Structure 1
Amino acid sequence: MRVALLGYGKMGKALHKTLEEQGHTIGFIHETQDVIEVSDSLLSCDVAIEFTGPENAVQNLTICAEQGLPVVSGTTGWLDQWSEVQAEQEKHQAKILYGSNFSLGVQLFLEAAKNLAQFMKDRSDFKLHLEETHHLEKKDTPSGTAISLFHALQQGDSSLKKWSLANKKTDDTTPIKASREQGVIGNHQAIWDGAIDYIKLEHHAKSRQGFVQGAIDSAKWLIQKQEPGLYSVRDVLGLT
């Protein structure tokens, strides 16, 4: 497949390397996190993979939708504008796929969290909190995966109403402690803390390769998908 890379940071460079190793062609590279400009080289591509930034992600997805270019988005921090992207997808009958995390391991972790939350929902003697740690360059806090983790837990325990950062916790929120440390790819934990013991479910990313391969597999899936739609990585993995 011929791929447009929108954003050329750590993920963009890793995608470039792996795509070429797997015999795919890079038809367009947008090296900054700014809004993309439409060009013949962009439109020659079969699919775009977008890792720009939360400031311009929605506008970049809109441009792809307007041009009929299927796009896989891995940028987080823009979900408060989800309805705008949904409207653009419907207006242009576009193919858009979003994932807060494309790692298969993370998606299985989210499924496990949902199932464990079902068992723990009536255990008032345990208090739930979430923790996430990422590298210093991570822009959004908490991470998109931490928010996805909370939503997965909500599916198992409907008493969970909303999340908050740990330093802004109220009685009706589930706290998320977000830390930034040098060299950390991405760690996420759901912790049920009781008086005599605690239960911890966690995922640690050893490298970005799981994210990279998941994004590539999602791009292949989106190209082959005939129907326009707003999809998620869970659709790719058959977890919906």
Structure 2
Amino acid sequence: MKILLIGYGKMGKTIEQMAQAKGHEIIGRIDHDNADELRNFTSENTDVAIEFTHPESAFGNVTYCLTHGIPVVSGSTGWLDRFEEAVALCLKQNGAFFYASNYSVGVNLFFHFNEYMASKMQAYKEYDVSVKEVHHLQKVDKPSGTGITAAEGILSSYTNLEGWVSDNPEEKSKLNIVSEREPDVVGTHIVTYSSEVDKIELSHIAHTRAGFAEGAIMAAQWLIGREGVYGMKEMLNL
């Protein structure tokens, strides 16, 4: 694959190393200091773009790829208020767009089991449910996209809750997502069901970024030749 990296932070560099080890070619590295060079890439010289940037730039990057015929895999979080616009553009352009808040296969199995667990636990009203996410100090958005996805998986069964809230346990009508930032934490997500007599937890703890990079490269390979909007559920057949 000829891969365009949009975003060259920790994740972009990890993807680069892993992709090159697999024999893929990195044809460009776009970051905030050379963002104008994105215009040099089109479907004629790029097989797929992998985009991990910031909330303020993600939508523009995805839009550029879709309007120039480049299949795009995005893992940027914090911009999903414009996600439906990206979906509509992809369908209009007959493009290919793959989005996940987290590309780890393990995390997506965690999402799957989280939804199943919530579907069973919602019948037991004595348990209070909450979500906790812990990341490194450089993590920009709070809550994390993975934490929000976990919360949404719970809310699909907990119809009595009126959405989620960030770091506000006193808001009993909503699902609370606790966010913590600590040095050198790749990513930890914990769903807790707590009652007066016991506690049940489902957790995923990432040891390295390799799992995220591996999943993004898998998604890029899978997306080439397809049209439409996809996510990890489709690729992993969950």
TM-score by length of 1: 0.94
Question: What is the CA RMSD across the aligned residues, in angstroms?
Answer: 1.6
Q: How much does 1:155 deviate?
A: 3.0
Aligned residue number for residue 122 of structure 1: 123
Deviations 1:146-183 (A, max 9, x none): 01001111234333331001237423101011000000
Q: How much does 1:193 deviate?
A: 0.9
- What amino acid does structure 2 have at the position aligned with 1:119? K
Aligned residue number for residue 4 of structure 1: 4
What is the correspondence of 1:223-238 to structure 2 with a 5 Å cutoff? 223-225=224-226, 228-238=227-237
- What amino acid does structure 1 have at the position aligned with 2:73? V
CA 1:22–1:40: 2 relative to 1, 3 Å: same
CA 1:173–1:112: 2 relative to 1, 3 Å: same
Aligned residue number for residue 167 of structure 1: 168
> Where does structure 1 lack aligned partners over 5 or more consecutive residues?
none
Aligned residue number for residue 61 of structure 2: 60
Aligned residue number for residue 23 of structure 2: 23
User: Contact conserved, 1:8 with 1:29, CA < 8 A, in 2?
Assistant: yes
- What amino acid does structure 2 have at the position aligned with 1:86? V
Deviations 1:169-208 (A, max 9, x none): 4231010110000000000011011001111111000100
Aligned residue number for residue 198 of structure 1: 199
Aligned residue number for residue 182 of structure 2: 181
Between the aligned residues of both structures, percent identity stands at: 37
Q: Does residue 37 of structure 2 align to residue 32 of structure 1?
A: no
Deviations 1:35-93 (A, max 9, x none): 76311578511000001111010011000011000000010111111121122112212
The DSSP-based 3-state class of the residue aligned with 2:84 is helix
Alpha-carbon distance in structure 2 between the residues aligned to 1:192 and 1:171: 14
TM-score by length of 2: 0.94
> Where does structure 2 lack aligned partners over 5 or more consecutive residues?
none
